[in-house]
Amino acid sequence: MNRADWREAVRAQMPRTRWEHTLRVVDTAKVLAERFGADVEKAETAALLHDYCKFWPVGKMRRMIWDKGLPRDLLEHNTELWHAFVGAEAVREELGVGDDEILNAIRYHTSGRPHMSLLEQVIFVADVIEPGRRYPGVDEIRKLAETDLERALLQSLDNTLRFLIDRCQKVYPLTLAARNDLVDRVH
């Protein structure tokens, strides 16, 4: 499969609005990769594939988590987290993506994790600041992403944590660990 085949494969998984989000994440990820010195081609690929499973039925994702030995604790947390872990597995099996840096950028694009690589940070931040995003605080994250990728990422994680806490929702432990790691890193 080449890049054009991947584009069609991704497009077939999702409604048009999500495909347009994907294209905006690709553009944003390329800009961030150039700005901060990440591999631009890997950023482009990871961004293209990052939401591959976003519209898969929950039952199909749950089966993948069981069958492929993905982290079992996901089953006790928000289903919004699942498409990232399942997505990494699915693009490896269905599209033949073998690059672990790309797969990790997909796998951790929602939860984050401690010690995120530059590519993982680029994809995470591109996803939350792409120009179609509208939520309180997005402009502050965009501003930070002009100069400091880690501060942008920390600000985004803090936003998400506040969002979850305000709604009395659980926090996936990896997200909290990602946030604590970044507090150490930016100081």
Binding footprint of ligand DGI on the chain (CB under 6 A): 51, 54, 77-78, 80-81, 84, 109-112, 127, 160, 164, 171-172, 175
Two tokens, residue 78: 């928000």
- Which listed option, ligand DGI, Fe ion, none, makes contact with residue 28 (CB within 5 to 8 Å by class)? none
**CB-nearer residue toward ligand DGI: 28 or 160:** 160
Q: Least distance from C-beta 165 to ligand DGI, angstroms? A: 11
Q: Which is nearer to ligand DGI, 2 or 17 (CB)?
A: 17
51 binds Fe ion (CB under 5 A): yes
Please state, in angstroms and rounded to a whole number, the distance separating the CA atoms of residues 88 and 173: 19
Distances, alpha carbon 97 to alpha carbons 1, 49, 59, 68, 104, in Å? 9, 10, 24, 16, 11
By a kind-dependent CB cut-off of 5 to 8 A, residue 92 interacts, out of ligand DGI, Fe ion, none, with none
Q: Which stretch binds Fe ion (CB under 5 A): 32-40, 125-133, 141-149, 161-169?
A: 125-133
Closest residue to Fe ion using C-beta atoms = 127
Residue 1 burial by Cβ neighbours in a 10 Å radius (0-12, 13-18, 19+): exposed
